[in-house]
Amino acid sequence: MKVALISSTFLPAHEGVSISLFERLKKLSESGHSVLCFVSSYEEIAHIYPNWSDYIGNIFPQVEVVALPSKEWMGIEQERNPQRQSLSIINEALVDFNPEIIQVEEPERLWTTLYTLPGLSYAKEQKIPYIGCYRTNFIDYIQDYAPAWLVGIGKLTATLLTKWIYNQFHSTLVGSQFIEQKLVSLGIKNVDYVKVIGPLVAHPPENLKNPDFFAEFYGLPEVDKTVKVLFLGRLSPDKNWEFSCKYLRDLKAKSIARKFTILVAGRGELEAAIRSSDFAHKLPTVMLGEVPHEQIPRLLTNVDLHVTSSLKETFGRTVQESLYAGTPVVAPDCEWTRNLVQPDFNGVLYKAEDGTDFIDKLAALIESSGDRQQLSQNALSSQYPMNDPTNKWLEYLQEKVDLSKAPGL
């Protein structure tokens, strides 16, 4: 196949869309396909990502990544989106490459700076499949970034725009069944659910265990002697950090005999606010910064709990990675967590937005090594041989290409 991919985000930014895209490019290359991938340039923020150039050009055999002139998105410097002038670069490169299929990641995000759907005209002219990949609940994020008076009209506008955008595609690809149902209810008529989202199961957790992990990797030997409570992901409002910052400090008042450490791994616009929060001053807290995706399995295997307060995930990659590693999850009881966490089996769910329930359950798990061990064993025992999600995605694209070339179509 000759595959064209268009995305706003990519490595070195370590978030779900970027990491999945990197894994997909690698799989396409290993399978002998040719790929042209357009992403936002990170050169403009080289002071944040000095290794930005490692992820452009021919990063794998038969895979070329083209960095598009970018601008900050939503007023956040490290969040990049292509500038409108990128359209001519995309159009000319598509003509030269002559793809058999085009997939666009988060097209509604791209639309906010391009004001069109990149590659749509080319796909129509050449009669090739044009796939939209729905990855992020941007509609629900509006309340985290917009003034209160604008939330209602903002959500209505975003809903109408999302419906219109995805109905322009031949198909809308989603990796979660509850998201499939949500998009169908919005009036999107071309939704395909396939298990194409999720981490690779590459390392047996027992091979990654290291009792001196934090001493060796971070120079923090004192952390290895404590119960390690990890928050992993973007440090941004949509991850519900307001809730975490408000209630984590209440752990101080709990009678917890065991020593513990709060670990925060990630990058985002709330980093300074988290560093200066009450819990970071009252509790033993370590800011690890952004962790490269290839190091995540080792990190997760060597912590005791993974905690999240996020309410708006579409898949929850970090939670899935935790469960693969046998690390129990503490999360709010909501639609996306019920998709992954079996309450009191491989994790604990607290009442969403209930700070008292959150702290009570987190404190109990920190105190009880027996409960943590049982949750961990359950998580590992419930794992089963899984198809590589990138393979499932590759099969999906091949089916679409084959169908488009079938006689009479």
CATH 3.40.50.2000 positions along the chain are 2-198+387-404, 205-381
CA distance linking residue 15 with residue 26, whole number of Å: 17
Query: pLDDT value at position 136?
Result: 87
CA distance linking residue 343 with residue 375, whole number of Å: 10
Q: Report in angstroms the alpha-carbon separations of 225 from 98, 104, 105, 152, 374.
A: 57, 46, 42, 48, 20
Query: pLDDT value at position 151?
Result: 76
Q: Which CATH number fits domain 205-381: 3.40.50.300, 3.40.50.2000, 3.30.70.260, 3.40.50.720?
A: 3.40.50.2000
Determine how many CB atoms are found less than 10 A away from the CB of residue 179: 23
The answer to whether residues 100 and 401 touch, using CB atoms and an 8 Å cutoff, is yes
Query: pLDDT value at position 246?
Result: 95
Mean pLDDT by 10 residues, the chain (409 residues): 96 89 95 97 94 96 97 88 96 97 97 96 96 89 75 86 96 93 95 87 79 96 96 92 95 90 94 94 94 90 96 88 92 91 93 96 94 91 70 94 77
What is the token pair recorded at 3? Answer: 């595959």
Provide the H-helix boundaries in 60-135: 86-97, 107-114, 120-126
What phi and psi values does residue 84 have, to the nearest 5 degrees? -60, -30
Name the DSSP letter for residue 69.
Answer: P
What is the token pair recorded at 16? Answer: 């779900």
E-strand stretches of 201-328: 227-232, 260-265, 285-289, 305-307
Query: pLDDT value at position 370?
Result: 92
Length of the chain: 409
Superfamily covering domain 2-198+387-404: Glycogen Phosphorylase B; (3.40.50.2000)
Query: pLDDT value at position 383?
Result: 67
User: Residue for token digits 């290794």?
Assistant: 51
Which amino acid is it at 30?
E
What is the token pair recorded at 362? Answer: 């987190």
What phi and psi values does residue 205 have, to the nearest 5 degrees? -55, -35
What is the token pair recorded at 139? Answer: 């509609």
The answer to whether residues 328 and 379 touch, using CB atoms and an 8 Å cutoff, is yes
User: Residue for token digits 């396409």?
Assistant: 28
* H-helix or E-strand spanning residue 159: helix 148-166
Query: pLDDT value at position 198?
Result: 77
Name the DSSP letter for residue 233.
Answer: S
Provide the terminal-to-terminal Cα distance of the chain, rounded to the nearest Å: 18
